[in-house]
Chain A
Amino acid sequence: MSYCLLSAAPLSSTEWWPIVLPLIAGGAAIYLMLPRPRAYPVLWGAGLGLLALILAGVLLTRSGVVSPETILFWAFSAIGIASGTLLVTQNNPARAALSFTLVVLSTCGLYLLLAAPFLMAATIIIYAGAIIVTFLFVIMLAQQVGLSDADDRSREPLLATLTGFVLLGTLLFVLQRHDHRVNQSAAEIDQLIERTREVAAMKTPSAMQDGVGEPGGKDDLFRQFEQMYRDKYGWRDLAERVDRVMIAWTVTPIDAKDRGEEQLRARLSELVAIGEDAKHRLNWLPPAGTASLSHFSGAPPTTQAEQIRRDKTTGLPRMPAENAAYVGRSLFTDFLLPVELGGSLLLVATVGAIAIAFRRS
């Protein structure tokens, strides 16, 4: 499988319009809402922003399933993005600081969905608790004499919006492109797995053998699997596993009643298992080498895709339940030196902040 995200293949219209539509609406919304002396009506910007959010939710993050997890994901990301927009377009700094708190809180919700409860607590305490309060203090201390121009004007609103949204468009394009390819490959593997399941559902051994196809022929199921793994993706080990299953299939005696049928079904279910392994591999970058790396933070980067322990229902890698304990173990084994450096950095920053802000009378 090639890991180059941007190939020379031209863009198809189904690929670009789900990206461009929300981008245009969002860009127009931000441009209209940025503070300026003669402001546009708030409703225009707000309506366009809402439209962009809904379009992005429907077109970009469509997953087809509505589960508590996806609803929470949509809610947290929508709140985060909406309050981020408020932060950018708000002309009152104190309110901007509060909407930044909302961004942090919804990000913490996403952390929780991503199995990082310790990080969620730490972020709420440090960001929402400490940093924002310091910001509010400075905002109140720096009470401006009279009205200032700074909050009611923006510098080059059009160019700034364009810059941001061109960057966003590029990022989204790369992400969509990669996702599109992975989906295509997964659909191809799914098709073969479906055929295997159909064959396994057949009644008699001879029907099953017919369903698998003539050995070496064009519609030989084993050969299709093997060629896909070996030639298209370069997964030699999976192709060899398919080979082994095929040999076992050919030597399976089908004369013995019932027993032969069950054995054939077992071979086919092995084939399905290999197919599921292959699907997990699609999103997995190849291991960087064979060096033995530390296991203290979880599976090291050199782990082969099939050696990861996965959750049966979701297919995601398993994460330890005691998140704080394992993050601590990772911090004090793999990252001991960075922890020490971080501590010194905090000390130096404290000294520096006091030295800078000291008022000489």
Chain B
Amino acid sequence: MPPIPLHHYLIVGAILFALGLIGFLARRNFIIMFLCVEMMLQGVTINLVAFARYRGNLQGQVFTLFILTVAACEAAIALALILILFRRRRSLDVSLWQDLREPGEEATMDEEPLPPARRQPAMPQLTPSGLEPEHRPEESHV
């Protein structure tokens, strides 16, 4: 029974990397851009682990462990930075920070208006802590 050739794994890694690249370039939400970068890292780790398997050497797996470490650090710092940016502009939109672009570059303008009646995006919310919900003892079964 022949094994799966190495380059099949490399193809999957390349596809994940390219998808992440597209997302990073096209999307405008800080968090989604960051998730796309993480997906590019996933594509790279598939390559490393596949080479480790087909070379009979554990160094690829160890590299992937280090990538995990660095990704965790990166997530911590990036989320802290995203929080600060959010506090300044009250939005996660990258285009609100386009004052930082190079001189001579044109500003991105949104010409097309968003359609007026759109569905409300289902965003999960944290329940505010500290407020006790109202109790109605006569309905309680406890």
Q: Is the CB of A63 within 8 A of B19?
A: no
List residues of chain A with CB within 8 A of the CB of B29. Answer: 93, 150-151
B90 at interface by CB-CB < 8 Å? yes
Nearest-CB residue, chain B, relative to A144:
B91
| Contact residues in B for A315 (Cβ distance below 8 Å) | 2-3
Contact B76–A342 (Cβ < 8 Å): no
Q: Which residues of B are found within 8 Å of A134, using beta-carbon distances?
A: 75-76, 79
* A168 vs B11: C-alpha distance when bound (angstroms): 9
Asked if B142 is an interface residue, CB under 8 A from chain A, the answer is no
A-B contact count (CB 8 A): 317
Q: Is the beta-carbon distance between B20 and A167 smaller than 8 angstroms?
A: no
Measured between C-beta atoms, what is the minimum distance from A260 to chain B in Å?
A: 36
**Shortest distance between the CB of A97 and any CB in chain B (Å):** 6
Q: From A108, which residue of chain B is reached at the shortest CB distance?
A: B42
Interface string of A172-186 (1 = CB under 8 A from B): 100110110000000
Interface size in chain B (residues, C-beta < 8 A): 89
Q: Are A88 and B23 in contact (CB under 8 A)?
A: yes
Q: Which of A64-72, A210-218, A238-246 contacts B (4 or more CB under 8 A)?
A: A64-72
> Does B9 contact A110, Cβ atoms closer than 8 Å?
yes
A179-B57 contact in complex given A77-B12, A149-B93, A163-B21, C-beta closer than 8 Å: no
Interface residues of B in 9-58 (CB under 8 A from A): 9-12, 14-23, 25-29, 31-32, 34-36, 38-39, 42, 45-46, 49-50, 52-58
Say yes or no: is B122 at the interface (Cβ < 8 Å to chain A): yes
A224 beta carbon closer than 8 Å to chain B: no
Contact B59 A297 (CB under 8 A): yes
CB <8 Å contact, B26 and A107:
no
In whole angstroms, how far apart are the Cα atoms of A325 and B101 in the complex?
A: 50
* A263 at the B interface (CB under 8 A): no
Query: Is A116 an interface residue when CB atoms closer than 8 A count as contact?
Result: yes
A window 141-193: CB within 8 A of B: 141-145, 147-157, 159-161, 163-165, 167-168, 171-172, 175-176, 178-179
Can you list 25 A-B pairs, Cβ within 8 angstroms, ordered by A?
A37-B112, A63-B2, A87-B19, A87-B36, A94-B122, A97-B31, A97-B35, A103-B16, A114-B9, A119-B49, A126-B72, A131-B72, A131-B75, A135-B79, A139-B124, A142-B82, A145-B90, A149-B114, A155-B95, A159-B25, A314-B2, A317-B55, A327-B62, A345-B70, A357-B84
The residues of B with any CB-CB pair to A shorter than 8 Å are 1-12, 14-23, 25-29, 31-32, 34-36, 38-39, 42, 45-46, 49-50, 52-59, 61-62, 64-66, 68-77, 79-84, 86-87, 90-95, 108, 110, 112-115, 118, 121-126
